[in-house]
Structures are given as C-alpha cells and as structure tokens.
Structure 1
Amino acid sequence: MFENTLQGALIGVTVIPILILSLPTTSFVRYAIYPLPALLVLRALLWPPTEGLAKETYLLGLLMTDTSFKMFDYLYLQGYNAPAKFLQVDRVGRTITKVHEYPKDTLGQVKWALSLVTSHRGIGWNIQVPLQKIKYPSSRVAYIFESMVSILSIYLGLYTCGSLCDYMVQVLRKEADSPYPWIYGLFKNSIFQMVVAFMGIFAMVSNSVLVYNLARMICVTSGIKGNWGKIESWPNMFGEFEDAWSIRNVWGRAWHQNLRRCLTAPGEKVSSLIFGSSPKLGRVPRLIRRYFLVFSAFGVSGLLHSLAVYYGSKTDTMPYEDSTPLHMRPGWYVTGYFFYIQPFAITLEDFICWATGTSTESKGVKATKVRWFVGMVYTLTWFTWGTAVLWIHPQLASLGYQRTSDAELGYVHILVSTSEAASILPLNPWPAVVKTVSPTFWDVYGYFKSSGLGGYLYLYAYTTLEILGGSGFNVLKSASSVV
C-alpha cells in the first residue's frame, strides 16, 4: 500500500488519530484501532526503509517523528479519555473565560478532533503554551501585506545564503578562481564557515516557515470558520531576534515553540508522579522539579532529532562515490548531543547569573545595554559553534554527506547542503529579479568606468549581483583586467 514503512507510519499518525478521537470512548471500533498508530511507528523503527535518498528519508522521518510525538501526547500519555483532558476554551489574555462542551454529534466530534491535532501551540485549548505579547495587524489587508513581506524576505534570505554557500564551495574546491588570495583563506577559515553554517540552519528551517506563512495567509484571507480563520491563531512562528540575549531565552522565546507541548508533556507526566502537585512543593523540591523539566524536554528533543537521522542513515548509505566510509562516521544518535548539552548550558548560565546577581528579567536586561550586548555576544557565539560542531556536522556526516576529497576543507559539506536546501524551494522570484537587474547594472557600471568614477565600488556591487545570478566566477576571474 505504501512504498515503505516510514510512509505508512506517517499516514498512521496523521489520519488514524483523527478517526480515533472522533469516535465515542465506548466505541468498539475505537478500542480496535487505538493501538494502530503506535504499532505503525514501532514497525517503522524495527524495519526502516532501505531505499531512497538519505535527505528525503531524513525529512520524512523528521516529519513522522514530530507528528508521532504529538499524537503520543493526545492519544496515550494523557489516558484513553481525551475529551476529559483536552478542552476547547475562550481566553482573554491568559485567563480562560469559557470552556466549551465536547460535541455530541458526529460532525462536531470530527471537527473537534481535527482542530485539536492541527492546533498551533494549542491556541484555543486548555493546553496552550505561553505566548509573548503580540501586536497583531489592525486588518486582514494589513495581515496579508505583512505575510507577503515575510514570504519575500524568506525567499531573499534563502537565495542570498544559498548563493553565498555555492560560491564558497566552488572557490574552496577550486572549481572557480578567487580574485584575491585572501578570499580563499577567508572561506577556508573554520570560524567564518561556522558563521555561514549558522546562517544556513535558518535556510534549512525556512521551508516550514514559508509553508506556515502561506497557510495562515490563505486561512485568514478566506475567513475559514473555526480557529483557523482567526488572526490570533497564527502568531509569528519565531520570536524577536532582540530576545536572544541568553541561551534559556533563545529556546523559550526566540526559537519556534511548535514542539513545546510534545517535548514538555512527558517530563510533566513523570514529574507529577515523582513530585506531586507543584504548588505544594517546598523551595528545593520545586527547584529540582524545574530543572528536571528542562533536562527532560531537551532529552526528548534530542531523541526526536536523532530518530530522523536514524531513518536517513538506513537509505542511500553512499550518496557520493567518495563518501566517508561507514566505519568512520558518527552514529545516528550523535545528532542528539547538541540538544542534550543545552540544559547543562542553561543550568550553568542560571547559576552564574544567580551568583553574580545579574538580571535575568527581560525588562532589566534590555534596560542595561551592556548587559544585553554581552548576553547577545556569548549566546550567538554558543549557537554559532554548537550548530556547526554539535548538530549539522555530525548529522550530515552520519548520513554520508561528508566526502573524503573535502577532508581538508572544513565544513564545506554544510555549505553544500545549505546551498541545496535553498535551491529546492519552488517559486522563488529573486533569481529572475537578479537576472533582470544585472544587465542594466552592467550598463550603468560601464558608464561610470569610462568616466573614471567609482570603478572599484561598482565592480564590487556588480560582482555581488553576478554571484547571485550564478555567473560571478568569470567576472571575478578577470576582475583585475576590468578595472
């Protein structure tokens, strides 16, 4: 029925839970199919697909694992009677003003189930994760305009980052000459590569951001019924960059919160069994419980991301003829190390702030520019290093995308993957824009060159356009003769 067990599991954790949650808790059919999603996921784990492209299987595995963790919470973690645990509510701020009853008709129950499994951050439910104060656009037109600007910005960022990575790869592999020797040295510098790789992670996650922006624009514009058509149901996927002044704040406010519920729910369940109700705890047990939840959430996150690599590592084990031999690659589980180390960093960060009396409140931090600046510097340094060294590098190496011929070129395999991730996104308008603008700019440059004004400045600007257009290497090669 399906090409492989992974595809079957993905269908199983997306469609079947809606059917299960739509049926009465006393239904025999519900009892019969209740374990089916878990069995399909177990089948995919025990007999993963062995054919196909590693990257495609990895993305499919990430989507399936992400969805299965969410369904695990809805179907199994909270017990069999989901309607008693998950309640549709109305809110004013953080205060619940109304609790809606579980529908009694079949169509209403289907809508209830569909709304639950597709809810973004639990908005409209009693499981809503904390949201930052958001200033929503004043009208649908303003909302559509904001979404379009966001979409075009994502496309531009992807295109620019992908073009830069593609250019760096060609220079490092000496498939194109650099106009100056220092450019090759800069591109080969591991710190510079880490910075570009850090930019590249956003290219890799921008696909989901783009789909999210398109979906919210369509739903809000069409005025679709239910929570999907409400502007308030579609907050920005990521927080503000200015809030990335601590490691804790990056994960809690700046980074996306799409997985927050499914990552924290297992720890909450275990902690309730160990510690009991939080309000009744003393200061020390409450502190232990707090950090237990941090460590458990990142433990689940590391497992989720590692499982996606596990699936990818079973297919197309030699994507290149000179891929690193299997016995020299890190295991699929190494990808999780990036996430496993985060709670240790957060704990150390909290301890240092406590010991030095440093403010950890947003208002206090932003009121002191030096504190905010220092926080931004060390946080960005931490993630720039960790993203390349602990996350993307071992992940690509485990999937076989590190080549022996690139052994002396640092993190060039990350640059290659970033370039490919940026190029596969359809409907990007910026390549056509650059190709249209570039010839015109060349005519303007020729005029200023002949007049002797601004030759170097225009050469650099033109070269940038040509790099983005894909033909900048020939220009760079003859740069010295042009000026």
Structure 2
Amino acid sequence: MGRYLWAEFLLFEALRLLILYPTRHHGHRIVAFAAMICVAAQIFLTPHGASPDQITSTYLVGVMTAFRLTFTTYLLFAEGFFPNHWRRVRDGVLAEPDAAGLDNTPSSFPRSKKLWWMLDIAHSTRMIGWVQEPRNCLPAHPPPSRREFLRETTLKFIVNFAIADLSGAVSARCPTFDSRFPHNSTYALKNALAAFPILHHAPYALAFGVMTGASLNAVHNIIALAFVGIGNSSPTLWPDMYGRWGDAYTVRKLWGRTWHQHMRPMVAGLGRLVANKILKFPPGTNRSSYAQLYIAFFISAAIHFAGDFLSQQRMVYHSFKFFLLQAMAITFEDFVIYIAKQFLPQKGIKINPGKADESWAGAIVRVMGYCWVTLWFSMTLPGWRDNTSAIGAAYQDLPLTQLSLGLWKRWT
C-alpha cells in the first residue's frame, strides 16, 4: 500500500472530523461532505498497485473508508437533526432550557468540549453512553470499579489471545490459507474450501469465526485497558465487543445479537430511513421489517465489497452473494419458526441459554439451532473466503504464538 493511499485516507479522516464538529452552521459541513466523497472516490478509482504483502492492509483501508462514509451518512441524515439530536448521557442533557435559558446541546458546548464530542461521536459506532444507545442487544455494561475492570479485562485479553492462537492452528492446516503455495486461479480452484466435501468445511468455518472474533476481542481489550488505565474513560463504557455466543442458535440471532454489534445502529437506522421514509412502508409491518433486513445486509455487503475492489482493482461480487444469502437464510428461518409455532405444541419449550430455568425441550431446540447455524456457514462461508485466500489476503500459516516466536528468533 503506497504512501499516497495513506495520505488520501488521512485526508478523508480529517474531512470526516470536520463534518462532525458540532455547530449550527451547515455551510462548511456541506462542502466538507462533498469533499469527503471526492476523496473516497479518489481512493477507490485510482490504481494503487498493492504488492502481495500489502493486499490485506489495502483491503482494510477499503473497508474502513466505506464503513466510515456510511456511518457519517447515518449520523447526518438517518435520524434526527445533526448535531443536537445526538447527546451523551454524561453531558447531563436537558429536554428543555434550564432556568438561566441555557440549552445544554452539543452546538452550545464550549470549543474544547465540542472537540471531545466530535472525536467521541466519530468513533461511537455502537452508541454506547449516548441517549441513542441500543436496548436489549448490547452485552452487559461492566461495573464502574477501575481496578476490577483492569483485572478482568486483562484476563479476557489472555483468554482471547489463546483462543485466537488455537483456532489459528486449525486454520493453518487448510491449504487455502498457506502462503507457501502459489495463490493463483489454478491453485485456488483445486485447493479452495469449496472443493472439499461439505463436512470438511465445518472445522474451518468455525475456526475462522472464532479466530476473527477472538482476535478483534483481544484488540478491543487492549484499547479498553489503555483508555481506562490512563483515566480517560469510564469502565462502564466498555462492554464486550460481541454478544454471547450462546445466543447464536439462529442465523438472525448470530448476526443481530452476537456479531453485528458495531454495525447494528448504523444499518438499522439507514434501513428505517429507506423502508419507512423513502419506500413509505408502515413501521411494524412485515414489508418494513424485511425491507430493513435486506437493506442492512446490502449495506454490509457493500462495505466488504469496497475492500475487495480496492485490493483487487476489479469488480468482485463474493461479498454481495455471501451477505445477501444471510438475509435469505433469516427469511427462511422466520418461515420455519412460524410454521412450527402454528402446528407444534409450545408448552414446555423454554430457551434461555446459560440459565437454570431453561427446559430440556428448549435445550434440544437450541442444540439443533447450533447445528443448523454451523451447517449454514459451512455451506456459505467458503464462497466468500476462497476469494480472499486466492489473492493471498487470508494467510494463516502458523498460530500466533509460533509466528511471534519465529519473528523474535529472526530479529534477535
């Protein structure tokens, strides 16, 4: 990834922050938003000639650019009036002006507080600590004790690192992730996951999901330790990055409660904007619900497509196929659950993962759900991952500890 791509991305970020500065004057925001779109177009339409060892970082720049452009669009247009619609709980927001006539809205903050507000909302993709924080889907907030938080988060980091390491060892056994072999179309066709029997996909599909989740969790733990450790942030603002894996007994719950935590507010808000305000579907109807579902996965597909396009400089549609298939699976699930509720007795079936009051029938249904989710991703994940491994962007030759030890020996 060349230095010009980094410069373009930094310019994109600077314009994004300028847009999110809380002021009542919108002239600069319109100009900066137009300029940000132009810079994003420059990033994607200019060939950057990424070398094989830069493909992964180039892919990440594409994904981050698309994600942050989409998130900024959501903040500006999908909900209420920007910036005063978005309020942090700790700012002591007021519904009405106080006795002195002062309105405690972001556009009325002192300049220094505006700058911190701008930095906060730019990176608050889960809206934690804001009035608009999602309900009933986020993991539990940690207790306010800093010492307890640092101790527990350090332990979580160690566990996540170990899990990522072990799951990486499973991935390392798959030829499609081995950089020692030539990654060209002929090799990829013979050694892709899709070329193996479907039952062979399951361990690699599970390993990929666990490794990705644990790795990102470990990064989240490090960032949380840094911000809370220096006293810059409250422990209560750092719930776990993902929801409970025990809830992932349907494809809908896996994406909605366990995985899509950082994208959920954004895709849900944009889905409501399109379904209810543009398409005029009445809120609460099946038309509105499923329109929002497919819009959410289309947005997710487009964000990942941006990474594919930037790293490969060609139209690659594997991300669209994978993510839209997830929406179709959820539609199928809803139909099956509806039929089951109509014709099967519901008495005695209580699903409550990890709780003592879960019934035996509920536990059996939940285990069947885990098998279904594993089978589904064993069928659909290879078509997406084989594309990235074919260009050398998914290497996992060694577990993290072995890789770290090898680098240490080389450097010393």
TM-score, normalised by the number of residues in structure 2: 0.77
Give 1:308 deviation, angstroms: 0.6
**Whole-Å Cα distance in 1 between the matches of residues 115 and 262 of structure 2?**
23
Report matched runs for 1:90-105 at 5 Å. Answer: 100-102=104-106, 103-105=108-110
Distance 1:430 1:240, change over 3 A: farther
Shift of 1:266: 2.3
Find the residue that maps to 2:83 and give its secondary structure: helix
Amino acid paired to 1:89: V
Deviation at 1:271, TM superposition (A): 1.8
Q: Is the 8 A contact 1:334 1:394 kept in 2?
A: yes
Letter in 2 for 1:372: R
User: For 2:172, what is the secondary structure of its paired residue?
Assistant: helix
CA distance in 2, matches of 1:199, 1:332: 24
Please say if 1:369 is aligned against 2:359: no
Paired residue for 1:394, among 375, 387, 396? 387
Identical counterparts, % of pairs: 19
Matched with 2:40 is: 41
Q: Which structure 2 residues correspond to residues 177-326 of structure 1 after superposition, within 5 A?
A: 191-224=199-232, 229-274=233-278, 286-314=285-313
Q: Give the match for residue 106 of structure 1.
A: 111
CA-CA distance at 1:202 after TM superposition: 3.4
- Contact persistence 2:305–2:319 (CA under 8 A): yes
CA displacement at 1:213 relative to structure 2? 0.7
Confirm whether residue 140 of structure 1 aligns to residue 124 of structure 2: no
Distance 1:232 1:271, change over 3 A: same
Counterpart position of 1:321: none
**Among residues 378, 381, 389, which one is paired with 1:384 in the alignment?**
378
Q: CA deviation at 1:343?
A: 1.2
TM-score when scaled to structure 1? Answer: 0.67
* Aligned equivalents of 2:402, 2:147: Cα separation in 1: 22
C-alpha displacement of 1:300 = 0.7
Partner residue, 1:349: 333
SS at match of 2:317: helix
Superposition map of 1:71-82 within 5 A: 71-75=72-76, 77=78, 82=82
Q: 1:325-379 CA deviation, whole Å, 9 max, x = no partner? A: xxxxxx5122221101111111111111111117798549943211111111111
| Greater radius of gyration (CA) | 1
What aligned pairs does 1:9-28 form with structure 2 within 5 A after superposition? 9-22=8-21, 24-26=23-25
Tell me if structure 1 keeps the 8 A contact 2:198–2:379. no
Whole-angstrom distance in 2 between the partners of 1:77 and 1:145: 39
Task: Please say if residues 281 and 287 of structure 2, whose CA atoms lie closer than 8 Å, have aligned partners that are also in contact.
Answer: no
Structure 2 matches for 1:366-445, cutoff 5 A?
366-367=358-359, 368-388=362-382, 390-397=383-390, 400-401=391-392, 417-419=395-397, 423=400
Task: Find the aligned partners of 1:223 and 1:373 in 2 and give their Cα distance.
Answer: 43
Supply the RMSD in Å over aligned alpha carbons.
3.6
Distance 1:173 1:231, change over 3 A: closer
Q: How many residues align?
A: 370
Question: Deviation of residue 163 (structure 1)?
Answer: 3.2
Structure 2 residue 320 is the aligned partner of structure 1 residue 336: yes
Q: Which deviates the most, 196-205 or 66-75?
A: 196-205
Any stretches of 5+ residues in structure 1 without a counterpart? 176-187, 316-330, 402-412, 436-483
Name the CA distance, whole Å, in 1 between partners of 2:174 and 2:389: 18
**1:122 corresponds to:** 127
Any unmatched runs of 5+ in structure 2? 96-103, 182-195
Partner Cα distance (1:118, 1:34) in 2 = 17
Q: 1:135 to 1:67 in 2, by over 3 A?
A: closer
| CA–CA separation in structure 2 for the residues paired with 1:361 and 1:161 | 32
1:332 touches 1:395 (CA, 8 Å); kept in 2? no
Amino acid at match of 2:9: L
What is the distance in 2 between the residues matched to 1:51 and 1:430? 24
Q: Deviations over 1:119-164 (max 9, x none)?
A: 2511122332233462634732222122112211222122223334
Question: 1:85 and 1:74 mapped to 2: Cα distance?
Answer: 9
Q: Give how far 1:117 is off.
A: 1.0
